Amino acid sequence: MSSNSDKDTVGVKAEKRIHDQVPSEQYAAFMRTGWTPSDLEGLEPLEVVTYAFARRQVLSAAFPGVRLVLPSGPFKVRSHDTDYQYRPHSAFAYYSGVQGSDATADAVLVMEPTEGGHLTYLYIHPRSTRDTDSFYRDAKYGELWVGRRYTLSEAKDRYQIDTRHLDEIQTLLKDGRETLTIRGADHSIDSIIPSNKGDIDFNTFTSQQRFVKDEYEISELQKAVDATAAGFNDVISVIPAAVATPRGERVLEAAFYGRARVAGNDLGYTTIIGAGSHACVLHWIRNDGDVRMGDLVLVDAGVEVDSFYTADITRTLPVSGKFSPAQRSLYMLVYEAQLAGFAAAKPGVKFSEINKACQAVLAKGLADMGVLPISAEESMQPEVGLHRRWTLHGVSHHLGLDVHDCGHARREDYLDGELREGMVLTVEPGLYIQPDDELFAPEYRGIGIRIEDDVVVTADGCRNLSEDIPRHPDAIEKWMKSLLR
Ligand code: GLY
Ligand code: MN
Ligand code: MN
């Protein structure tokens, strides 16, 4: 539906999308009257409220005396006046707790310094009530165009944060008080706040605070993994349709997307569906290839739940339901590498040790197969690394609100940092034999395999949140048989 499709609504401003004209004052007055009151009284606070409060306490203690501004961000334009589905900035989501369809564009969380810490305010564009014109004129915010939002008092009940109208934020932010913000989250907010050398450290801090997950986050990540598991079942169920349909990769992609939207908020990232040698292209998101009997198909997908936490799971499946001997032997090497990665993940160990443990197994396997021209030990020297011709990427990253969570952390605290209880990580070794790789026998060429699971670091090791999604080739064959008959 176009917002300027009829004669009465020409002149829609691209930015605000307000209809310039209404037929008459009589019409405007008529539209304001005759509506049943519909404020929602006594909304229950969300479960996240106490966790978000504790997170803000940590942030407040780290930045005393300074105003902290966390924008949710604007809509992102897809083309002309069509936006993508709205998704708030992760730092805003983390400290506010705002979630699901409650998240509305342009909101800003402000922490005002006081004697003992900070007072928090959630600036929102509240509901366009029936006494405004915007509920029917504003294609961007109007209730009859995009649906109801909370009033200030409803949002306060839900999030237990004092709320203010977004119209007041310009005046506040122009008062000259020292302010730190997450640059790039909302350019209109950036333009009001003078840049501060501390902004980078502020962003780093908000990223690193998310290294260790609280119990609410771990349970949300488990929900994301469980919804993703259901999505993988859906994918397997449509493999016959994918084989029968041109561009069958899209059939698998669509099946997973359906689950993500029905069970969660969205995908946590664009699904990778690599059938045959497309599996050897690490970020194959075109997903426009055929799915052929006898090939493997690599599916890297994650459901983002309403709290915006995402899973990140990869399974490599035989399209026929049965691995060939060459597929199985390469698969088992990746499988063994992943077991070594799980074993390495424990508190006190450097994050990079997980990668080393997986790579050591893969390098030895490649040397045993006779494709590595030097010993595995020599290849494992950081300045040598020949095995990486087939392993291509690191095997772990933090996971949370972002699929590559804590992305603004310092290198020394991330890659070179020590694992701590409560961190959530992927373990995702892979082997990729390009179709034109003459170092491998022909039956191996074009095989790409990755196995990716999501683990939480425990007191003495790690727990696999995605343990219930079959991984061993025998278990995969059994799983597929149960869904494909
Ligand atoms: N899905 C992106 C990754 O595995 O890191
Ligand atoms: Mn990953
Ligand atoms: Mn992945």
Over residues 294-344, the pLDDT tens digits come to 999 999 999 999 999 999 999 999 999 999 999 999 999 999 999 999 999
Which residues, 6 or more positions from 47, have their beta carbon under 8 angstroms from its beta carbon?
Answer: 216
Pairing assessment for the beta strands 424-427 and 453-457 based on DSSP bridges:
antiparallel
User: 3-class DSSP state for residue 311?
Assistant: coil
Ligand 1 within 6 A of 403 CB? yes
453 in contact with ligand 1, CB cutoff 6 A = no
d(CA 95, CA 120): 10
Mean local confidence (pLDDT), 278-293: 98
| Strands of 59-150, DSSP E | 67-71, 77-79, 82-83, 108-114, 117-124
Q: Mean pLDDT, to the nearest integer, of 54-72? A: 98
pLDDT of residue 8: 35
Rounded to an integer, what distance in angstroms lies between the CA atom of residue 242 and that of residue 251?
5
For residue 6, the model assigns a pLDDT of 36
- What integer is the mean pLDDT of 375-393? 98
- In single-letter form, the type of residue at position 168 comes to E
The CB of 269 under 6 Å from ligand 1? The reply is yes
Q: Report the share of the chain in percent with pLDDT over 90.
A: 92
Q: Ligand 1, from 285, 403, 450, 453: best to mutate by most atoms within 8 Å of Cβ?
A: 403
In this prediction, residues 106-117 reach a mean pLDDT of 97
Question: Rounded to 5 degrees, what are φ and ψ at 170?
Answer: -60, -50
Long-range contacts: 118-121, Cβ < 8 Å, 24+? 118/56, 118/59, 118/60, 118/68, 119/162, 120/56, 120/161, 120/162, 121/161, 121/162, 121/163, 121/164
Side chain identity at residue 155, one-letter code? A
The verdict on the CB of residue 428 being under 6 Å from ligand 1 is yes
| Residue 452 Cα to ligand 2 middle (Å) | 7
Q: Whose alpha carbon is nearest atom 4 of ligand 1?
A: 312
Is residue 251 classed as helix, strand or coil in its secondary structure?
Answer: helix
CA 445 / ligand 3 centre spacing (Å): 22
Say if residue 9's pLDDT is above 60.
no
Ligand 2 mean position to 126 CA, how many Å? 37
pLDDT, residue 17, reads 64
Q: What 8-state DSSP symbol labels residue 369?
A: T
Q: How far is the CA of 373 from the centre of ligand 2 (A)?
A: 29
pLDDT of 20 above 90: no
How remote is the CA of residue 300 from the centroid of ligand 1, in Å?
7
| Residues β-bridged to residue 463 | 456
Ligand 1 pocket test target in 282, 428, 449 with most atoms within 8 Å of CB:
428
pLDDT in tens, 429-457: 999 999 999 999 999 999 999 999 999 99
Read off the pLDDT of residues 142-164 as tens digits, 9 standing for 90 and up.
999 999 999 999 999 999 999 99
Ligand 3 centre to CA of 200 (Å) is 28
> Is 312 touching ligand 1 by the criterion CB < 6 Å?
yes
Element (H, E) at 200: helix 198-208
* Residue 21 reports pLDDT greater than 80: no
As given in the structure block, the two tokens for residue 196 are 């501060």
Are 380 and 358 in contact, with CB atoms under 8 Å apart? no
Per DSSP, what are the bridge partners of residue 164?
A: 123
Amino acid 251: pLDDT: 98
Q: What average pLDDT score do residues 103-109 get?
A: 96
Give the Cα separation of 35 and 59 in Å (integer).
Answer: 43
Task: Domain 215-483: give its CATH superfamily.
Answer: Creatinase/methionine aminopeptidase superfamily (3.90.230.10)
3-class SS of residue 288: coil
Counting from 1 in the atom list of ligand 1, the atom nearest the Cα of 450 is 4
Q: What is the pLDDT of residue 118?
A: 98
pLDDT of residue 18: 66
Buried b (16+ CB within 10 A) or exposed e, 12-51: beeeebbbeebeeeeeeeebeeeeeeeeeeeeeebebbeb
**Segment 37-42 mean pLDDT:** 88
- pLDDT tens across 344-356, in order? 999 999 999 999 9
pLDDT, mean of residues 32-38: 93
Multiple choice CATH, 12-208, 3.40.50.300, 3.75.10.10, 3.20.20.450, 3.40.350.10? 3.40.350.10
**Tokens representing residue 456 in the block:** 């939480």
Tell me the whole-structure pTM to 2 decimals: 0.95
Confidence bin at 234 (pLDDT 50/70/90): very high
C-beta 333 within 6 A of ligand 1 = no
Measuring from atom 3 of ligand 1, which residue has the nearest CA?
312
The β-bridge partners of 450 are: 430
In ligand 1, the atom with minimum distance to the C-alpha of 452 is 4
Which residues are CB-contacts of 481 (< 8 A; sequence separation ≥ 6)?
321
Residue 10 has pLDDT above 60, yes or no: no
Domain boundaries, the chain: 12-208, 215-483
Place of tokens 């049943």: 36
**Measured distance CA(315)–CA(468) in Å, rounded:** 12
